[in-house]
Each structure stands twice: as C-alpha cells, then as structure tokens.
Amino acid sequence: MTLAASDTGNLFLALAALAGLLILQAVICARDPWAPLNRRFLLGLRVMAMLFAGRALLILTGWDFFRFFILLGATLIPLSVLLLAEGLLRRHAPLGVKFWVMGGTILFSILSFWWSNSVDPLRLVGLLAFQLSGFFIGAWLVLTRNKASLTVAENQTVERLALSLFLLVPFAAADFLMDYLDLPAQISPLGVLFLCWLAVSLGRSQSQHRAPLVSFFAIVLGAGLSGFVIAHMVGMDKDATILTLVVILAAVLVAVLFIEAQTLRSEEQSQTLLRHLAEDRSRDALGFLRGLQAHPLVEGAALIEATQLSDLETSVLKHIFKVRPVLRRADPPFTDGAEGDHIKHLFSMFNASHILLADDEPITLVALSMPSLATSPRAELELAAVQRMARLMTKARP
C-alpha cells in the first residue's frame, strides 16, 4: 500500500504524538501511578493516546471503524481536562460546568458510534465547540484559583500545564478546520508534544517556566530553519514545505523528549551524597561517616582519631575547622602561619582531597579522596550537608 504524502505526514505525526504520550506516561508511572492526581493525568494521556492510535490505524488500514476511537478520544478530552483541573486546584468546578461537560460527553460519545462521516460537518462543528469549551473551562478554573490555598510547587505545576493550552487549543482547532485552512497535515500532535515537554520538565524543581519555553522555541527555530533550507533546495511547494517542517519538528521533539525523560530518570536514580544522607541507618556519627567508604562517589575514606593527630596542636585544628568544617585541598582557608602548616600537613599525611570535622571532643576527622568533587558545586554542597549531619549526631549523643 502506497500512502499519499499528506497521509504519510499525518501518520508520522500521529505516531510521534503517541510516542511522546508513552514517554510521559512512563515518567509518571515510574513515580507513583496510583497517586490521585497522577491517575487523573494518566487518564487524560490515555484518552489522547487512544485518539492518535485510532488516527494512525485509520490511515494504515483505511477502515472507517477506527474513526470511532478518534471521535471517542476527542469527546473525552473536555472531561479529562475538568478532572485534572479539579485535582490540581483541589476544588470542585461549579455544578453547571459539570452538567455541561457530562452532557456533552454523553451526547458525543453516543454520536461516536456512528463513525461514518455522513453526519459531518455538523457533528465536527459541535465537537469542536465542545472541545474548546472544555479547554476554556480549564483555563477559567486556573485563572480564578486561590493561589494562597496551593503551595508554590502546586502553583508552578498548574501554570506550567496551562501554558500548553497556548499551542494545544489552536492546533486542536486546526485539525477540525484543516480543509478550510488548506493545511496538508493535522498539527495537533505538535501541541501534544509541547504538553509532554512541559510535563516532563516539572520533574526538575529548579526549572522555571522560562527554561523549557526557551529550549522549546530554540528547537522550533532550529527545526524550522532546517525545514526551510531543505524545502528551498528541493524546490517544494507550500504543502510539501509545511509537511517537511512539521515532520522535522515532531521528530526532533520526540528525540529531545526521550533524552529529557532519560536524564530525569538518571537524576532520580543517581548515587548522590544526599541519597547516603537520606538512606543511612547508622545510630551514631562515626557509623554514619564510615558509610561513606562504600559510597560510589568516594574513592577512599579514612577516620582520623585524636591519637593520630598527636603531633598537631589541638587548638589550631579547632580554630581551622571552626572557620571551615569541610577543608578542600584546592581551596584551603589558610595558606600561611600555623594554620596553613597544619592544613598542608593534614592533606599530605592522608593524601586526601577533603577533610571533614566529625567531632571536636575528642577531635575526630574524616579524610576523603574525592577529586571529582572539586569541579562539582552541587557535590560540594552535599558534602557540607553530610558533615553538618554528622556534627548534629555527635552533639545529640548522650
């Protein structure tokens, strides 16, 4: 079977959207698929996946039966938006809104069983109006929310997902109006991939709204320029140029989305020092610090007791570690005087990159060989947190 260029493009876009939805679903399921909010989000993702799977199967087989899944998926989107908005905002929508969404869902679900296009375009116009009303209801609930009742993270999540409506709504409308707009492809998959991008970026708490948006527009610009160059070299017409642009953009978005999801998963499973701090079950500071010896980031860890420091002045050592509890070979707090001599002697004696104060009565140190930490500000901060926890444990002992 040979597909027309527009059908090939639409098939690729549908499969790209399906891939993006599956990637996002895997990210959510890896955390907690049974959490109430995650269940609502997964419902929406699976509704959209059903729609794009039906679209791909319709193109591949030509069987009108698969239009049922497309129509049913489009029908369930407003209900999914409402359920997700209520879960995100922790409030119920007005009763009239619920009746409207449920009534529309029941009506168009029944109409979806008539998968023939004999009742179109009237049904499509009604379905478009119903879908748009669902998106606008979700946006209205977001805009009128009580920000004080939500945490900063919850507000960020709501705003991040609401941003996707700026592309999702017009692109979804363009699918219904593609014949009137003279478009060669259904471009809603691009809006869905944008939604997936924003949702995956929620896993990085330090990521602000600007970061994923700038990255997205950089990719759009790069893919767009590539598409225009190819179209110009080959001498494509308008339809072929649009198809080339959207296919390149969808392919790049899926690839970057996959990389982003893998990076996020790697970060969640990474062997950071914070994981040692959180998972260690030692009952005393020395046991806690000895646990560093088995940590993959630590090439060597040695406990230095007071008897091993008999050649050094205890008062000078206490002064050094009062100024800086974590000494770095690359950045000592003192370079001359008695303090500087003591620091040089410590590092040369134990061949360490870092020395931590574990206790001061009697003085106890931990020497670590961690050269890779010198270039990692985050790991340096984690090491300081580990030292701080050890000091608190020593002070808390009876």
At 198-235, the pLDDT tens digits run: 888 776 555 555 667 787 788 888 888 988 898 888 88
Nearest CA to 157 out of 215, 199, 216, 112 is that of 199
DSSP helix/strand/coil, 21: helix
Q: Give the pTM.
A: 0.73
Write out the H or E segment, with its range, that includes residue 213: helix 210-234
- Other C-beta atoms lying within 10 Å of the C-beta of residue 184: 20
Query: What pLDDT score was predicted for residue 197?
Result: 87
> Which of these ranges, 28-32, 139-143, 262-266, 369-373, has the smallest mean pLDDT?
369-373
Helix 122-143 with 165-176: angle, nearest 10 deg: 170
CA 313 from centre of chain: 51
Write out the H or E segment, with its range, that includes residue 186: none
Query: What pLDDT score was predicted for residue 345?
Result: 86
Query: What pLDDT score was predicted for residue 23?
Result: 95
Q: Which of residues 371 and 263 earns the better pLDDT score?
A: 263
Query: What pLDDT score was predicted for residue 353?
Result: 78
Query: What pLDDT score was predicted for residue 149?
Result: 80
How many residues make up the chain in this entry?
398
Side-by-side strand order, sheet with 301-304: 301-304, 363-368, 354-360, 326-328
C-beta separation of 388 from 325 below 8 A: yes
At 38-67, the pLDDT tens digits run: 899 999 999 999 999 999 999 999 898 999
Residue 18 scores a pLDDT above 90: yes
Query: What pLDDT score was predicted for residue 291?
Result: 63
Backbone angles phi, psi at 327, to 5 degrees: -90, 135
18-26 average pLDDT score: 95
- Percentage above 90 pLDDT, the chain: 32
Q: Kindly list the structural domains of the chain, giving each domain's residue range(s) and its CATH number in brackets, ordered by start.
A: 5-269 (1.20.1070), 273-396 (no CATH)
At 115, list the tokens: 């998968």
Residue 356 scores a pLDDT above 70: yes
DSSP bridge partners of 327: 355
The secondary structure of 26-57 as a DSSP string is: HHHHHH-TTSHHHHHHHHHHHHHHHHHHHHHH
Confidence of residue 372 (pLDDT cuts 50, 70, 90): low
Give CA separation, 197 vs 116, 194, 300, in Å: 35, 5, 40
At 84-126, the pLDDT tens digits run: 999 888 888 999 999 999 999 999 999 999 878 778 788 999 9
